[in-house]
Amino acid sequence: MNKHNMTTEKGIPSNSRVLMLFGQLEKLNRESMLVDPEIARQITAKVLHLIQTQEKTRKEIMSKASSGMEVILATLENTQDLQTILNILYILNELLTVGGGRRIGVFVSKGGTGILLQLVIRASKESPPSEEFMLQLHSVLAKVGPKDRKFGVKARLNGALNVTVNLLKQNLQNHKLLLPCLLVLQVYSSNTVNAVSLGKNGVVELMFRIIGPYSKKNTSLLKVSLDTLGALLKSKTNAQRAVVHVPVLLYIYQDWHRNDTRHRHILIRKGILGCLKNITNIKLGRKAFIDADGMRILYNTSNECLPVRTLDPLINTSSLIMRKCFPKNRLPLSTIKSVFHHQLLRVPAGGPVAQLYNQPLGVDDVVDESDNNEDAEAENDTENEVEEKYRHAGNDDVETDINKLRPKETHSRPFEELKIYERFFMELSEDFQVFNFDNPKRGVTATPAAPKSHRPIIVPTAQALPLKTPTAAPLQGECPHPAPVPALGLDTINITKDQDGCGDHTHSRSHPGAGLEQELVQGLERVALDGAGPQGGGGGVNKHNRQPPILAGAVAARLGGEGEEMSAEDWAEEEESDEGAVLHVPDTALLLPLHDPDLYMEMVKSTRSVPQFSEVAYPDYFGHVAPTSREHILERVYGVQSPLPPFRTKIFQDIERLIHPNDILDKVVYDLDIQSCTVVDGGESLKFNSQFESGNLRKAVQVRKFEYDLVLNSDINSNHYHQWFYFEVSGMRVGAPYRFNIINCEKSNSQFNYGMQVLMYSVQEAISGRPRWVRTGTDICYYKNHFSRSSIAAGGQKGKSYYTMTFSMTFNHKDDVCYFAYHYPYTYTTLKMHLQKLEALRTPQTYLREDVLCETLGGNSCPLLTITAMPESTSNDQICQFRNRPLVFLSSRVHPGETNASWVMKGTLEFLMGSSPLAHSLREAYIFKIVPMLNPDGVVNGNHRCSLSGEDLNRQWQNPSPELHPTIYHTKSLLQYLAAIQRAPLVFCDYHGHSRKKNVFMYGCSLKETVWETNISATSCELHEDLGYRTLPKILSQMAPAFSMASCSFVVERSKEATARVVVWREIGVQRSYTMESTLCGCDQGKYKGLQIGTRELEEMGAQFCVALLRLKRLTSPLKLRNHAHLLDVESDLMETRCKVSSNPSTYLLEDEEASFMEEVDYSAESGDEPDTADNHLSESNNHRDSLT
């Protein structure tokens, strides 16, 4: 005996009895079993006895140093004696039953699978084969097969598949043998080729002979049979064979559901549902399921299971099947193109607008004809592949061309072409000789140093653009809209501001719209803008003959509930009445120093929109005061936002539409496509409206008494981007449980699934002294629905569906008017009002200049602000210091739906214009150039992503067109001019909002970190880079509670190479070029953990960004300047535990108290991709790079 081969692990004697027996077996193997087989029987029997009685023996055989398994397998392969083989199979069953996968792994690694399969073939040649032999052999195979990845292939090549199938057919009544054979068959079927082969051999039909109705006998056998059948049905061909058995499966499921009252056989019921799920992956299976009344059966059984928490697996699988089989519907639209059109002077060939409007006549862009022809299995596979791509290959988008990661050394435009932008940088050449420093207040008004310029810049290629009038002509082939409305007279609205509860009101002159105002007071509708008449003037029109305001009839119809429009005489009678035709406006001057309803109404006159809006939304008019209470992230509700499958409660409610179609009203109550349509309902329906600035709601359909499907409008000159919403609701009943479903969302996931709520503004609350947006809504969830998304809308992809964002709401006030929004609205008119109010806050020490950078396609002005500190005198040193201050360039709101970016910008502007020592130090440290709204047209017209060109402006920075993208073209030109005169900004930051992540964070650009994310090789000299780009984010992470350094990324991606951040970094050479993303939801770390973000926190973030710039100044200043008194004071302030940031009466206080934390939000089900934001890479660099150096 070769003793060194039989050594054992520590603690087991080497001369143990089992080793002696294995030595004898090894000797017999060398003699090729020529001796009496009785000896082998006795030896194997003794080994079996030792294994059954001594755990130590089992460990000894399976130890790494033991060769016992090799001896056993050699004996099994060489012997022909049936009893010896049975003994060895008994031994293997004992060894592999315990010990987990490690023992089976050892067995597989030593070739045990192949030897067992050879025994299967050898036994099949005997007639009849030994039942006990086949039983033990398949028992071992059932244990080994799941752990051997190549088991199915080995069995097919060996020919063992047919042997097992024939054995199964011959022993249908032999349950003892049937069970291990089914287990092996189940493992065979995990291989697709094997499954198809077994299906051809009649195994699918064979399974249906085994499974049956409820029975207390042989439940283990039935469970294994269902699992085997489920594995077979993953093949489409097998699923087709099983289509005829769908009614049988449904009957069996009902029978088990009805009789398994104590829920002891949940796995059997789940197995039946698993078979149905696989069959319904194909179109024929879904049709058979519907024809067999499967929707009603699963709906009823699932509802009966809802009270029992342990039955969740059954409910989840049932909901998956029902969702899959729910017939695909088309959106209730005739076209997915936007209701509104803007005629471009030049439509680039091959661009999105050209593709949109060059479609052949008669093409249905809402749904594809072949939507239902695609198998659900293929769709699911595609989606899974996409998820895997983003999960495991997230760096595929990372830029790998080092040449594209280096800043350009040459400028793309000649300086002579850029000199036209010199006039936007008057501060770089101003000598302040005419400024009166002895009387600075007088000097400010006299000097041209800080004028407010309203003249847009004109370049030769853009001279044909209409600068003063909006272009709203219909595109060729489209139905024309009403003629443009003349200038609106806004001075006809009576406004009363409550002063400490007094009733002293100031009335404007009488006018024919007084009746409307009375209706507004009584019914709390919106503010209406009174039309000025055909010639633009209204002063000379006889009030008794004048027509009512342009929207007065529609408003009156909604208020009256009878659908009758008021005549001119009715308006006159209302106007002659002495009733208080007054709109009560809450006095919020102390709380909102930058808001003035009168000024807003004045500013809105110059705001130009494609739909010719003639109404103002109450929230924009009243203003918003941030609530004092904290709004917590909504906890995920069990059964509504449960992980997999999502949102079953809402899905079941949707399924009821199919099961009980007579309960569905399907009543259109609001439709922008038919604006003249008047709904007459006797007050049984809600009233909707979105025809005001930034509004977005295209259609509202009442599906049940208190449930409404809502459809959002596409961005103008586009057929998608459905996410931003802002609409008005009135005519509600107090206490009624309303449900709103926005049914044409496009993103695959949303923060609405992770605690975010919608925003609501109540006019009743505002008039009562609480004018504010509040987070609201219950049962909020976001899920894939049954509305088909055409390949035209999905970028060529077929089989896609839209998503539903649903929430429930109970109203507290009768005759209220409420507004709902995706996020806190911030309109273009609001910006204009804020800028004018900020100018009034200017002190003699503040340099503020507002220029009009350019006119947009819609005729709106794009403001450009310059903010810094005035020099202390006209001495050469002071003027030189003034001119040579580093520049900081800020921009915001390139994406209209990211309104949080404007609130952050508001906080920045308020801080910069404040009177605090910090603000003064910041103005002395930098010259700020700010474009607060890069996409005014998109904001005005309620777009989510695009401008009027139908394009995402943040993908146009590489080669912007002055005709199509004027704001981007001229903003980039400003930066190019600065680069040309060697004054590139120290910091560039573009403010954005993020819809899928929490917290506030930054995206930057780094050559090193981008290379580290890829497999490309580069020398150390090629990767030389200053780590200063990390300084500002690191400062923010130390001082801003909403900011998360862990969410920041500095990787450059191919898909982002045309964004502002990357282009400014690469072409302008700004190392600190950032996108700052603010969450739309809330925070999951820091002081604000568990809280939804509000305007107070967003404005605070904007102010803290300014304070961080001061710290950056301290760190980047030359050593001789680091002891500057102001900077030392700032440094001290930054290190304080309690940091007060006060810029004006709207003061931010960063308190020490922490928010009460909620349970951490689970992100496991979220998609990692963010295709619709400026940046989406989530990778976090190593901690050693997380320094301020």
Which residues are marked as active site?
Answer: 1077
Q: Radius of gyration of the chain from Cα atoms? A: 37
User: Dihedrals φ, ψ of 820, to 5°?
Assistant: -120, 140
Structure token pair of residue 681: 């309902």
Within 8 A by CB and 6+ apart from 784, the residues are 323, 748, 801, 802, 803, 804
Q: Measured in Å, how far apart are the chain's first and last C-alpha atoms?
A: 70
Spatial CA neighbour of 694 closest among 461, 459, 919, 935: 935
Q: Residue 1151 CB: number of other CB atoms within 10 A?
A: 11
Structure token pair of residue 326: 């729910």
Check residue 478 and report its DSSP letter.
S
Torsion sign over Cα 318, 322, 323, 324: positive
Spatial CA neighbour of 293 closest among 763, 22, 658: 658
Check residue 1053 and report its DSSP letter.
B
Q: Exposure of 1006 by Cβ count < 10 A (0-12 exposed, 13-18 middle, 19+ buried)?
A: buried
Structure token pair of residue 1095: 């305007």
Structure token pair of residue 338: 């936007």
Spatial CA neighbour of 1033 closest among 1003, 1009, 1071, 991: 1003
Residues 1114 and 1131 sit within 8 Å (Cβ to Cβ): yes
Give one DSSP letter per residue of 373-404, joined into a string. GS-HHHHHHHHHHHHHHHHH-GGGGB---GGG
Structure token pair of residue 1000: 């506030």
Q: Residue 1011 CB: number of other CB atoms within 10 A?
A: 22
Distances (CA, A) of 84 to 57, 236, 907: 19, 44, 85
Check residue 309 and report its DSSP letter.
G
Q: Residue 522 CB: number of other CB atoms within 10 A?
A: 11
Within 8 A by CB and 6+ apart from 44, the residues are 25, 75, 84, 87, 88, 91
What is the Cα–Cα distance from 747 to 1077, expressed in whole angstroms? 18
Amino acid at the residue 1014: T
What is the Cα–Cα distance from 885 to 985, expressed in whole angstroms? 10
Within 8 A by CB and 6+ apart from 38, the residues are none
Enumerate helices (H) and strands (E) in the chain, giving the number of each. 42, 26
Amino acid at the residue 581: A
Give one DSSP letter per residue of 640-698, joined into a string. TS-TTTT-HHHHHHHHHHHH-GGG---EEEEEGGGTT-----TT-S-EEE--STT-B--
